[in-house]
A and B are shown apart, each in its own frame.
Chain A
């Protein structure tokens, strides 16, 4: 795949990809963009092996998710880890109520197990189907449904509405 063609495909997907990683990184936009760029470079290097069996978008999100997991597993004291994450910055407009809502949201998402959190983000923020989420997380569809259901239950306990 040529760089021009790849960039053409990425141009359409960059916003959903950045939003997905922004939610995974609890609103840390700089970290999310860094992981997104890392994912795009990895995808470009591996683009020769992309056979078109999955949608380009699904394939790209799977790589991004793996990059996020790799980042979490790296030993570093600050920012994102798989557990006990800290909300660093809230990417929203400056309205205080919006900022509060995002803080609540990220705070709640942060306390979810990583697969539950990812399933919730993909389903509610990215409007991905169960099948697509299963393909991105590489788990069966039934397990995705279970993660969504238990994620909602956990969030209801964590977020005051």
Chain B
């Protein structure tokens, strides 16, 4: 079949785009907005990493310090506190089941908070 007429029709009726000087300006505005969001997400991620590294470092230093001190200055626990440590131990042993409830609640709350802050970052 002869396709020449339809080909000519298509080539002669190419859509015309009206010159719009605001098009690129609007594009640049949108790009700046996206750039701003990207920078904010990057900044928050950097802060998160920094906080994590600091917490790990502090935990490590504190743990090493306590271990070293415990080795350097060993204490016989039965000689200090006038039996107060024993009473604390007995208290914890008695109430451990009830004490687990606030601890578990705290862990759940922390997990929810972390998940929600992740969602907020994703929405950005």
In the complex, A37 Cα to B9 Cα: how many Å?
A: 29
Majority secondary structure, B binding face: helix
In the complex, A19 Cα to B15 Cα: how many Å?
A: 6
Residue of B nearest to A23 (CB): B15
Chain B: minimal CB distance from A137 (Å): 18
Task: Check A40/B27 contact, CB under 8 A, given A45-B38, A153-B1.
Answer: yes
Determine which residue in B13, B17, B26, B32 has the highest number of CB atoms from chain A within 10 A of its CB, and name it. Answer: B17
Check if A7 is an interface residue, CB within 8 A of chain B: yes
In the complex, A40 Cα to B13 Cα: how many Å?
A: 26
Task: Check A3/B17 contact, CB under 8 A, given A33-B23, A155-B6.
Answer: no
A17-40 vs B, CB cutoff 8 Å, 1 = contact: the mask equals: 011001100010100010011001
Residue of A nearest to B11 (CB): A124
In the complex, A124 Cα to B7 Cα: how many Å?
A: 8
Task: Check A91/B24 contact, CB under 8 A, given A45-B38, A124-B7.
Answer: no
Contacts of B20 in A (CB 8 A): 33
In the complex, A14 Cα to B7 Cα: how many Å?
A: 25
Partner pick for A37 among B10, B14, B26, B35, CB 8 A cutoff: B26
Chain A: minimal CB distance from B48 (Å): 21
In A62-120, the 8 Å CB interface with B consists of: 91-93, 101-102, 105, 120
Contacts of A40 in B (CB 8 A): 27, 30-31
Q: Check B24 against A156 for contact (C-beta < 8 Å).
A: no
Check if B76 is an interface residue, CB within 8 A of chain A: no
Majority secondary structure, A binding face: helix
A137-155 vs B, CB cutoff 8 Å, 1 = contact: the mask equals: 0000000000000001101
Partner pick for A22 among B1, B17, B31, CB 8 A cutoff: B17
Of the four ranges (under 10, 10 to 19, 20 to 34, 35 or more), the interface on chain A belongs to 35 or more
Q: Check A37 against B23 for contact (C-beta < 8 Å).
A: yes
In the complex, A15 Cα to B18 Cα: how many Å?
A: 9
Check if A11 is an interface residue, CB within 8 A of chain B: yes
Q: Check B13 against A105 for contact (C-beta < 8 Å).
A: yes
Check if B52 is an interface residue, CB within 8 A of chain A: no
Partner pick for B16 among A10, A14, A91, A120, CB 8 A cutoff: A91
Chain A: minimal CB distance from B32 (Å): 8
B residues in contact (CB < 8 Å) with A: 1, 3, 5-7, 9-11, 13-18, 20, 23-24, 26-28, 30-32, 34-35, 38
Closest 3 CB pairs of A and B: A124-B10, A18-B17, A125-B14
A residues in contact (CB < 8 Å) with B: 3, 6-7, 10-11, 14-15, 18-19, 22-23, 27, 29, 33, 36-37, 40-41, 44-45, 91-93, 101-102, 105, 120, 124-125, 152-153, 155-156, 159, 161
